[in-house]
Amino acid sequence: MDPLEHEKAFNLLDAYVRTKHGCFLAEMFVSNDPSEYVLCFRPSDTSTTNQYACKYVRVSRTEMESLSTEKALGAGLSDTLDRELAPLSRSAQE
């Protein structure tokens, strides 16, 4: 992904998880396996939870590259994030 595509994907993912899960995208990088990206999410409100809480999610390179041409997350990626971030979202609400 070129830098502009990377930025667009980051912004789409960050906006989605801030709105839906009360967390933010802290890191996004290519895994040791070049066919996937690793995304690190942290709760937005650290006053109510462990300030070091985070969740790493692996996403295929194909899904990430498709974000550069989209205006929103696809159903598959949003479903994955909803499932994977549910525990992090719950801990932030407690």
SS (H, E, C) the chain: CCHHHHHHHHHHHHHHHHHHHCEEEEEEEECCCCCEEEEEEEECCCCCCCCCCCEEEEEEHHHHHHHCCCCCCCHHHHHHHHHHHHHHHHHHHC
pLDDT of residue 36: 96
pLDDT of residue 59: 95
- The answer to whether the pTM exceeds 0.75 is yes
pLDDT of residue 83: 95
Q: What is the pLDDT of residues 18-55, one digit of tens each?
A: 999 999 999 999 999 999 999 999 998 766 667 788 99
Domain ranges, residue 20: 3-93
Structure tokens at 60: 């295929």
Domain count within the chain: 1
